[in-house]
Each structure stands twice: as structure tokens, then as C-alpha cells.
């Protein structure tokens, strides 16, 4: 299902966990900052709207999406960080560079979540055009940052439910 058919900012909010004592780290790629700053704002506001404390939402910037994995690791390895959200926008260019970045980051972030046993969320847009990116960063298809934040919240709820 495409974001065209499912708005990124529309999700169920039933049975969400108490996140008032949870610490979140948001890692933001500086490439395409006109997009990623919107993703960050969406993620940050979604966390606060559902109970996160402002002082418990950390932020780190990385040059580009390829660096999101290492930036996320530096937060994920901290015992005081409960979840990491990685935000980026990799817009297709003339070459296959975007494919290599996208696959590397998707695999890298997946590995981190498994390694540290905590949510490491893939909040990276991989559009063909800037317009498609903006449509998914607070535009007509919602905000991927909202979705990423809510995903982190729900995964913490699942962790509380299943982990003894």
C-alpha cells in the first residue's frame, strides 16, 4: 500500500504505553534539510503529544542519510536511551547512489535494533523527486516523522508487554 492510500500521520492510538519516563534519540540527516527538518518537527511533536518529556527527547545531526546508522548506534548503545528514530530523505539522482544509501541504511538500522534490543526506527524517505518528499514531510500524504515517532512509541509498548 502506498502513502498515497494510507496517510502517514493517521494511525490508531489505542493502548499506547506511558512514555513520560522514556528517553528518545532522534538522528537527523542534514542532506535535504528542507525536508528533514519537517520530519524532525513531526516526530518531535508526535512524541510530546503522546506524553514524552521534552528533556527526554535528544537530537543528533549527521551529514547525510548514509551516516544515520553510525549516529543511531552512538545513541542506541547508551543504556539511558530507550528508542532511536533515524530521519532522512534520499532523493533519487542521475545515478544509483541513492539505491546504495537506502539499502545500507535500511540494513544498518535493522541490525542496530536487533543488536541492542530496542526500537531503531527507519524514518527515511526514499522518493524519486523533491515533490514526493515534501508530500510525505507534512504534505498531502502526511509526515513520515509522525509515523516514525508513533512506531517508536508502539514498539516500546510491545517491549513492555513481552519482555520480562
Ligand X SMILES: CC(=O)[C@@H](O)COP(=O)(O)O
Considering CB distances under 5 to 8 angstroms, the limit depending on partner class, which of ligand X, ligand LW54GNZ2, none binds residue 115? none
- Binding-site residue total for ligand LW54GNZ2 (CB under 6 A)? 13
Considering CB distances under 5 to 8 angstroms, the limit depending on partner class, which of ligand LW54GNZ2, ligand X, none binds residue 74? none
Catalytic site includes residue 111: no
Q: Which residues 43-102 are close enough to bind ligand LW54GNZ2 by CB under 6 A? A: 63-67, 88-91, 101
Which residue out of 97, 103, 111, 141 is catalytically annotated?
97
Min separation Cβ 91 and ligand X, Å: 6
Here the cell at position 66 is 548514509
CB–CB of 95/128 below 8 Å?
no
d(CA 49, CA 122): 20
CB–CB of 50/20 below 8 Å?
no
In angstroms, what CA-CA distances link 61 with 29, 98, 137, 138?
A: 6, 19, 18, 20
Extract the annotated binding site for 5-amino-6-(D-ribitylamino)uracil: 31, 65-67, 89-91, 122
Amino acid at each position: 500500500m502506498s502513502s498515497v492510500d494510507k496517510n502517514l500521520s493517521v494511525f490508531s492510538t489505542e493502548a499506547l504505553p506511558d512514555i513520560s519516563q522514556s528517553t528518545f534519540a532522534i538522528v537527523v540527516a542534514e542532506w535535504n534539510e528542507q525536508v528533514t527538518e519537517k520530519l524532525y518537527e513531526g516526530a518531535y511533536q508526535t512524541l510530546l503529544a503522546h506524553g514524552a518529556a521534552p528533556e527526554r527527547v535528544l537530537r543528533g545531526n549527521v551529514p547525510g542519510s548514509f551516516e544515520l546508522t553510525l549516529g543511531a548506534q552512538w545513541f542506541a548503545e547508551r543504556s539511558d536511551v530507550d528508542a532511536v528514530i533515524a530521519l532522512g530523505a534520499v532523493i533519487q539522482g542521475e545515478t544509483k547512489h541513492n539505491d546504495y544509501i537506502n539499502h545500507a541504511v535500511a540494513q544498518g538500522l535493522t541490525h542496530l535494533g536487533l543488536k541492542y534490543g530496542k526500537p531503531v526506527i527507519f524514518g527515511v524517505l526514499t522518493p524519486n523527486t523533491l515533490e514526493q518528499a515534501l508530500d510525505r514531510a507534512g504534505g498531502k500524504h502526511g509526515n513520515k516523522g509522525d509515523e516514525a515517532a508513533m512506531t517508536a512509541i508502539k514498539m516500546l509498548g510491545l517491549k513492555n508487554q513481552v519482555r520480562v
